[in-house]
Amino acid sequence: MMKKQLIMEKALELFAEQGFEATSVKQITDICGISKGAFYLSFKSKDELILALIDHFMEQITSNIDYVVTNSNDESVLHAFYYEIFTSFHKHSDFAKLLMKEQTQSFNDVFLIKMRYYDQLMDKTILNMIERLYGENVEKTKYDLIFCVKGLMHVYSTLFLFNNVPLDVNVLAKTLVEKTNLLAQHTNTPFISKELMETFGQPMSEEMSADQLIDVINQKIEEMEESIEKESLTLLKQELIEPTLGQAIVKGLIENIRNHPHCKWIAFLLRNHFKV
Amino acid sequence: MMKKQLIMEKALELFAEQGFEATSVKQITDICGISKGAFYLSFKSKDELILALIDHFMEQITSNIDYVVTNSNDESVLHAFYYEIFTSFHKHSDFAKLLMKEQTQSFNDVFLIKMRYYDQLMDKTILNMIERLYGENVEKTKYDLIFCVKGLMHVYSTLFLFNNVPLDVNVLAKTLVEKTNLLAQHTNTPFISKELMETFGQPMSEEMSADQLIDVINQKIEEMEESIEKESLTLLKQELIEPTLGQAIVKGLIENIRNHPHCKWIAFLLRNHFKV
DNA sequence: TTGACAAATGACCACTTAGTCATTATTATA
DNA sequence: TATAATAATGACTAAGTGGTCATTTGTCAA
């Protein structure tokens, strides 16, 4: 199991540098110092590896952003959002590079669906934030705003990822907050209407069912040692099967598990499910 | 020579769909209905093919944009800029897709240099436009503005290229003009300082020398049949060797060749050289 | 020391790749 | 028609690909 992590780490470096297609399994196993067979003991295929990488990092990044956004006040939420994103990208710069390089590529159906899934989660988070901050004022322009925010994120990420520009995340976040506010408060001409958004934005992937959630939780529970987190998770599972606890308790339980590295994603899914 | 064009056309389609690395020479020759050998009669390598494609389209697009920008008044220049870009991308959508997919990829040094070169030309054009429109007001924020403009271009291009969104170029250009004006007129907090721009933006690739320009022109002249364009080009070559004509005449001569499909790029280079 | 089980190996498979070149087909010239 | 020049072919090479599996190695408890 240690090996799986080693492979993911080293492969990520290679993917970031050369791209996924240009990196061979042989190259990966060589710098890991393991045999080809050992690789296929950890991953069924090269594709499975990149999918695992995407999930591993996107779950982390997505849930962190979501938490930060839902737990900041209106004054600070935009700044917190940008700050969190760029901090994540900076910390996991190899993954961020991989993401940039492969996001328009399309070798694999599963890959594509996964990318679209996380992209839609991001859209949702941004939209949420925008609606909360500007309300009715951006009714006509909010979809354009999503794209503007993503466009800004994209260029500035490229800038510091591929040009080793020294990064002061705080300043960067500040400038983008200013720009976002400007665009939100003064834009009048929309390009993306609600209808347009719906025609191309394949119906937002619906949420996970309670049953699916329970499966994921069961799997995690088995991996965990006894702890407050495990207890909280067990209670939350119970709540999924048969709701009895109040909102406050549920929220508290989710808060308990939120910082456990293995639970971040589940915490995110549960927050979404219980809408707390 | 016809064959070269056929290969470029068909290869572009494949590259746009599958990416450069994922497309094999065999695939290209198959849909062209030619043999492998015939391919290597037109191109020394697969790499040379993609470089030729980049040059072919980027020369066209870059020179068109430059012309449009330098020949629009302050009222309309921003709109003209966006309109021209998106029209080009829409018209050559396969090439635009290729560009998006491969712009962060880095298989090849020559490729990388080429991409950076055209990217810098674009930066220059945008900067020019911004300085002209907003002057002193954007002294501190103009570099950020370049990136904002590129970020907006990027997301909206992705949107209509990969999501078959119906494209009303006029409306799109309008919304982006509004956004650009907003950002230019009200942004106060810069992220990219002049120094920062200089540290990462390897010294702007210096202009072509007069001698190099003459070489390029000589080559073109041979390919052309007798015409006003050819005569103009010959006179311009003379002017490069020994300046005798006035600005007005030079400008007129460049105007003469500007619409000849083979001369667009040369017209661009000459406009830059004579600064007319 | 033995035996049982899991972990790890790397030769090997079938296939694909970019690129070459002796050979053949086509065209133009005399 | 004969000859020279050019265009086009596709079998071939050498290297590499993702993936497999019979075999070896390592690690336990008995």
Nearest to B107 among A22, A106, A152 (CB): A22
Question: What pLDDT score was predicted for residue A202?
Answer: 67
For residue range B128-156, list pLDDT tens digits in order.
999 999 989 999 999 999 999 999 999 99
Say yes or no: B196 contacts chain A, CB-CB below 8 A.
yes
d(CA B33, CA A179) in angstroms, rounded, equals: 52
Opening angle at CA A8, ends A154 and B109, nearest 5: 55
Is A65 within 8 Å of A81 (Cβ atoms)?
yes
Is the distance from CB of B97 to CB of B183 less than 8 angstroms? no
Residue window 9-28, chain B: list those with CB within 8 Å of chain A.
18-19, 21-22
Chain B closest-CA separation from residue A167 CA (Å): 10
pLDDT in tens for each of the 276 residues of chain B? 589 999 999 999 999 999 999 999 999 999 999 999 999 999 999 999 999 999 999 999 999 999 999 999 999 999 999 999 999 999 999 999 999 999 888 778 899 999 999 999 999 999 999 999 998 999 999 999 999 999 999 999 999 999 988 899 999 999 999 999 999 999 999 999 998 888 876 666 667 888 889 998 988 888 788 889 999 999 999 999 999 998 999 999 999 999 888 899 999 999 989 887
DSSP B165: -
| Identity of the amino acid at A208 | M
Q: Do A187 and B178 touch (CB under 8 A)?
A: yes
List the domains of chain B with CATH numbers.
Answer: 2-43 (1.10.10.60), 51-200 (1.10.357.10), 210-274 (no CATH)
Q: How far is the C-alpha of B200 from the C-alpha of B120, rounded, in Å?
A: 12
Asked if residue A18 keeps its beta carbon closer than 7 A to nucleic acid strand D, the reply is no
A23 touches strand D (CB under 7 A): yes
CA distance A45 to chain B (A): 18
Fill in the amino acid letter for A271.
R
8 Å CB contact between A21 and B22: yes
Cβ-based contacts of B164 with chain A (< 8 Å): 200
Q: Find how far residue A182's CA is from the centre of its chain.
A: 26
Instruction: State the best of A98, A175, A180, A202 to mutate against chain B, taking most chain B CBs within 10 Å.
Output: A175
Distances (CA, A) of B84 to A121, A268, B67: 33, 43, 10
> What's the pLDDT at B1?
57
Distance of C1' in C10 from CA in A11, Å: 20
Instruction: Report whether A251 contacts A276 (CB < 8 A).
Output: yes
* B267, B257 contact by CB (below 8 A): yes
Protein residue closest via CA to C1' of C17 = B24
Annotate B176-223 with DSSP letters as a single string: HHHHHHHHHHH----SS-HHHHHHHS-S-PPPPPHHHHHHHHHHHHHH
Which amino acid, residue A178?
E
Q: Which residues of B touch A95 (CB under 8 A)?
A: none
Tens of pLDDT along B10-62? 999 999 999 999 999 999 999 999 999 999 999 999 999 999 999 999 999 99
